[in-house]
């Protein structure tokens, strides 16, 4: 499918299309994260106020619109996918001992790891409690499988910290950690309307491809953007021993000295012996950053191709716009 530029929405169009729905999801998230236990409510409100792109509920809402579903369930489920995403961020920050998130102290710094791991667990359970209201076994099956995959992805990543991995392992990791939630967000929008399996699969494939593109771009930005833009220390992945696509590419093509420099950072978990600038020079010399961005753009285009047979509508125009936003963002 060659995408006609006229078939793409603009950012303003997408925002106008979803403004009220996204505001309703935000309010629902706030309502769902209220607990009689005050500290849970405090942490939930802090996480909600931290912002974020809300891309997962956005995808669910667009998917629901694509299949003509306008029931209140789409708002509840939009809050569910954002709560699940938020729970994973809380647990990720504890595992990584992160100090900042989106330019603010991470929740584990503000409240301590013990309270935050339990607050993350509570958000997971609240997500499922809310989803139960749908009385839809398919919706629950999607969410349970998703949560298992995300936990498996986190465990696999911990096992591979500081180790050299290949591209196949990398793509498996980012599917589990990121793309599966994009995929399920799209599938849920269709599942709420009990859409035919074929439509749900196409929308899910769009989400999978988009999620992979999103994570590759995230990983490139982690290497190239500043602390201020990222809202956290730059090159956090390398400091944490995570080899991402550009790094894997440079390891395969670099000289012995290049490989040794990258290995040193992965093993040390800091830039005390090899500087961040040295790693960037290696990546640029081998075209590794552009290689990763080319891969992201290919997955973004695959996302567009995935919905070639979805009937034309304002929501489909918006879905055709999202991959370009994902690959051109700077934070």
Question: Does the pLDDT of residue 169 top 50, yes or no?
Answer: yes
**Residue 97: DSSP 8-state:** T
Evaluate whether 215 touches 181 at the Cβ level (below 8 Å): no
The CATH code for residues 6-328 is 1.10.600.10
Question: Does the pLDDT of residue 9 top 80, yes or no?
Answer: no
State the Cα–Cα distance between residues 34 and 323, nearest whole angstrom. 34
pTM: 0.94
pLDDT on residue 3: 53
Question: Does the pLDDT of residue 6 top 60, yes or no?
Answer: no
Distances 155 to 151, 188, 218 between C-alpha atoms, Å: 6, 25, 20
State the Cα–Cα distance between residues 221 and 158, nearest whole angstrom. 21
Asked which of 4-8, 237-241, 253-257 is least confident by mean pLDDT, the reply is 4-8
pLDDT on residue 7: 62
Q: What is the dihedral of CA 144, 70, 67, 200, to 10 degrees?
A: 0
State the Cα–Cα distance between residues 267 and 260, nearest whole angstrom. 10
- Alpha helices, H only, 34-179: 38-49, 55-66, 73-96, 107-111, 113-132, 137-160, 167-174
Domain positions in the chain are 6-328
pLDDT on residue 102: 84
| Radius of gyration, CA atoms only, the chain | 20
Quick one: tokens of 163? 């180790």
Evaluate whether 173 touches 51 at the Cβ level (below 8 Å): no
């Amino acid at each position: 499918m060659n995408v006609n530029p006229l078939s793409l929405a603009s950012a303003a169009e997408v925002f106008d299309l979803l403004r009220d729905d996204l505001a309703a999801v935000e309010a629902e998230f706030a309502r769902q994260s209220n607990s009689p236990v005050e500290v849970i409510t405090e942490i939930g409100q802090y996480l909600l106020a931290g912002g974020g792109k809300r891309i997962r509920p956005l995808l669910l809402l667009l998917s629901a619109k694509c299949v003509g579903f306008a029931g209140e369930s789409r708002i509840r489920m939009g809050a569910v996918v954002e709560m699940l995403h938020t729970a994973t961020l809380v647990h990720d920050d504890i595992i990584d001992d992160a100090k900042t998130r989106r330019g603010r102290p991470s929740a584990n710094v503000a409240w301590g790891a013990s309270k935050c791991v339990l607050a993350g667990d509570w958000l997971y359970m609240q997500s499922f409690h809310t989803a139960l209201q749908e009385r839809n076994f398919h919706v629950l099956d999607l969410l349970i499988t998703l949560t298992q995959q995300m936990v498996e992805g986190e465990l696999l990543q911990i096992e591979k910290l500081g180790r050299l991995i290949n591209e196949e392992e990398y793509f498996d990791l980012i599917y589990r950690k990121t793309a599966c939630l994009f995929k399920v967000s799209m599938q849920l929008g269709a599942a709420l309307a009990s859409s035919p399996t074929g439509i749900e699969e196409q929308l899910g494939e769009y989400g999978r491809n988009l999620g992979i593109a999103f994570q590759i771009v995230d990983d490139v930005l982690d290497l190239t953007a500043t602390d201020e833009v990222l809202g956290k220390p730059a090159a956090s992945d390398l400091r944490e021993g995570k080899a991402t696509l550009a790094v894997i590419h440079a390891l395969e093509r670099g000289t012995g000295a290049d490989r040794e420099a990258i290995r040193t950072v992965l093993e040390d978990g800091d830039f005390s012996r090899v500087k961040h600038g040295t790693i960037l020079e290696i990546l640029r010399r081998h075209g590794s950053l552009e290689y990763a961005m080319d891969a992201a753009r290919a997955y973004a285009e695959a996302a567009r191709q995935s919905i070639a047979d979805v009937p034309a509508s304002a929501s489909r125009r918006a879905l055709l716009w999202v991959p370009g936003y994902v690959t051109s963002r700077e934070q």
